[in-house]
Amino acid sequence: MSTVDQVPLIQCRGITKVYPLSGVEVHALRGVDLNIAQGEMVAIMGASGSGKSTLMNILGCMDRQTGGSYLLEGIDVSTLDDSQLATLRNRKLGFVFQRYNLLARSTALHNVELPLFYAGFSPAEAKKEALLALEQVGLRDLAGHRPNQMSGGQQQRVAIARAVVNHPLVLLADEPTGALDTVSSVEIMQLFQRMHNERGVTVIIVTHEPNIADFCPRKVVMRDGVVVSDDNPSGSHRTMEEA
Amino acid sequence: MTIRPTVLAGFAIQALQANKMRSFLTMLGVIIGVGAVIVMMAIGQGTQNQVLSRINQLGANRLTVMAGAQGGPPGRTTSAGNPLTLSDVEDISQLSFVKAVAPTVRGSVVATQGNHTWNTGITGTTPEMADISSLVLQSGRFFNQADLKAASPVAVLGQTAYENLFSYGVDPVGSQIRLQGISFRVIGLLRPVGATAGSDQDDVIYIPVTTAQIRLLGTSNQLVNAITVEVQDQAYMDRVQADITSLLRKKHRLTEAQEDDFRIMNNAQIQEQVESVTGTLTLFLAAVAGISLVVGGIGIMNIMLVSVTERTREIGVRMAIGASKRDILAQFLLEAVLMSLGGSLIGILLGMVATEVFAMVTTWPVAISLSSVLLAVGTASIIGIFFGFYPARHAANLNPAQALSYE
């Protein structure tokens, strides 16, 4: 069933993460093995303290692992320097956070333009691309609004537009519905599904809510810093028909 | 491809505008510092210019030879104390690089004209003195070689002497005045010069040296009080001074062990000394003002540190979406430099206004020099970079994951 010759997009081998916390070492990850193929939509589940957010930070190149290896597109991320990681985050990865993390004093448009600016776009080019992304999340009309003039669901859609505006390979979301009501949560998850289907982007969503995880074909469950269950441990790509 | 500098500048300006009051108060330290530097240096420079222009009026390429030994403890027996004579004047005029020489015979006289009486000094000299001392006539003429040869009783009045001997507005040329009871014809009136080192340069009456020696003072017709020498170029001042020294020592038959029995005042040396003193004064004033500029810089650093802490999450977000350390460093450094440069521009304008107001109120001489403006701007930008670097580096070195989870 698996296509062995295809290199998985994400390959984690024995990832550990140790935080020194007031003299005591906290082992957040104790050896995570995980493969994710191009085009998958994966939910990483687990109780708080299970290490899922720590794993998310490492997968998103926001933090470095203490041990083990992490290959993204076959490249060992630990060999890259800070500025190469910044470029990686800018071009290959898109982030969505629980609390949206939009710049409070900037308009929706400017928030979506930001990743493009860091990629070297001119203001005119950035505006064009950002408006397209806002249109895709259905908020073109709110381009001039500031975060405090928008609902939580709308803010999170702006954040998703910001995450996909640079056409990343992977969309990472850390509890993206954690601050939203049920209706908005469903809307947001449907938007992730649409991005996944329309753009073919790999989506990784960290959540502790089973009904949110149900939107994802593959579920990975973590406990105490290790993966305890995985629908598809090989990481080979499964089409919807196969599933 | 990395972020465009104009876009980055936009980020910095946006951040400063978001906290207008805070940005302005932070800039205020630099505004006051730069303003103070401008005002202080204008005062120092103005004072220097004034003193130097007075010295220049006296002639920077002039030497004055006076009889009598230099300084020395009182009661100390010096050499014979030979006087200066007209033959010295003749010999000095033969030296190379000497442009003109004029003797001076001085005396105090009582001058009368009508019912006006005035105690003043007379200066007996030769026609060359008019050129050497850059004397400018307001009316009439200076005495000439014929007057000198004939020991004519003619006089040229300084402005103060004129004001005290004549009623206001009366042209004195052609009038008779009496010096020690002897009748003189006024042939010229000098333009006012002003005071130098507390002495009124206008309280003087010039007469031919021959007239002074023979008719007025009754001194020997050879002795003079001082000899003024105009050198062809300021570059030869030291050379001519040395030549005069050896000439006079030889004529006075001084041995190696004996000290000079005359003094030579070198205007170029005096000018150098004044320049060095007032230059030090200007620097000192600038340094005092510069301290407030440094305090302003510390204010910038303080606010930038607060700003970095407040915006930790924002920094985390920017890093998450692709800002490199360099981008973050550049943005925060730019914010600091913009504040110090903006502050220095406002400070320059304010300093110029304050300088003008100060000059009007106190009539103190001031001069705003380009160098003081450049110094202020240069110092302010260096301060912006210096004090902005630490907070900016602090921001750039944040770990993105930790910055994002900062509460």
Q: CA B179 to CA B189: how far, in whole Å?
A: 16
- Tell me which residues of chain A have a pLDDT lower than 50: 1-5, 238-243
Q: What is the pLDDT of residue A6?
A: 66
Pull the structure tokens for residue B329.
């460093």
Asked if B119 contacts B179 with a C-beta cutoff of 8 angstroms, the reply is no
Task: Give pLDDT, residue B288.
Answer: 83
Q: What is the pLDDT of residue B76?
A: 41
pLDDT averaged over every residue in chain B: 87
* Cα of B389 to nearest chain A Cα, Å: 19
Q: Residue B378 — pLDDT band, cuts 50, 70, 90?
A: confident
Closest Cβ–Cβ partner in A90, A103, A123 for B322: A90
**DSSP string of B256-292, one letter each residue:** TTSPPSEEEEEHHHHHHHHHHHHHHHHHHHHHHHHHH
Q: At what angle do helices B370-396 and B325-362 cross, to 10 degrees?
A: 150
Long-range contacts of B216-219 (CB under 8 A, 24+ apart): B216/B107, B216/B109, B216/B122, B216/B124, B216/B179, B216/B180, B216/B182, B217/B105, B217/B107, B217/B124, B219/B105
Report the residue of chain B nearest A115, measured CA to CA: B321
Output the pLDDT for position B223. 83
The predicted pLDDT at position A24 comes to 85
Interface test with A, best of B1, B20, B321, B397 (most A CBs within 10 A): B321
Least confident of A55-64, B2-11, B211-220, B394-403: B211-220
Asked if pLDDT for residue B73 goes beyond 50, the answer is no
Q: Report the pLDDT value the prediction gives residue A239, as an integer from 0 to 100.
A: 45
Establish if A7 touches chain B: CB-CB under 8 angstroms.
Answer: no
In the predicted model, what is the mean pLDDT of residues B200-209?
88
What does the alpha-carbon distance between residue A20 and residue A27 come to, in Å, rounded to a whole number? 9
pLDDT number for residue A131: 96
- Is the pLDDT assigned to residue B38 strictly greater than 80? yes
Residue range B46-58: mean pLDDT, rounded: 79
- How many Å apart are CA B170 and CA B168, to the nearest integer? 6
Kindly give the residue spans of alpha helices, DSSP state H, lying in B118-183.
128-132, 145-150, 159-165
The pLDDT of B256-261, averaged and rounded, is 82
Nearest-CB residue to B317 (from A57, A103, A119)? A103
Q: What is the pLDDT of residue B79?
A: 45
pLDDT above 80: residue B181: yes
Query: Which residues of chain A from 82 to 101 reach within 8 Å of chain B, CB to CB?
Result: 82-83, 86-87, 89-91, 95, 97, 101
State yes or no: pLDDT of B75 exceeds 60.
no
Indicate the range of A164-178, B66-80, B221-235, B321-335 predicted with least confidence: B66-80
Domains of chain B, residue spans: 5-54+273-404, 83-251
Residue among B230, B261, B259, B252 at smallest CA distance from B59: B230
Classify domain A39-63+79-230 at the CATH topology level: Rossmann fold (3.40.50)
- How far is A103 from chain B, CA to nearest CA, in Å? 7
Q: Which residue has the tokens 């692709």?
A: B322
Who among B323, B401, B404 is closest to A118 (CB)? B323
The 10 Å Cβ neighbour count of residue A198 is 10
Q: Residue B129 pLDDT more than 60?
A: yes
List of chain A residues whose C-beta atoms are within 8 Å of the C-beta of residue B3: 117-118, 120
| Distance, CA of B384 to CA of B399 (rounded, Å) | 25
- Tell me whether residues A118 and B326 touch, CB distance under 8 A: no
What pLDDT, on the 0 to 100 scale, is given for residue A240?
Answer: 44
Look at residue A241 in the predicted model and tell me its pLDDT. 42
State whether residue A243 is helix, strand or coil: coil
Residues in chain A within 8 Å Cβ distance of B5: none
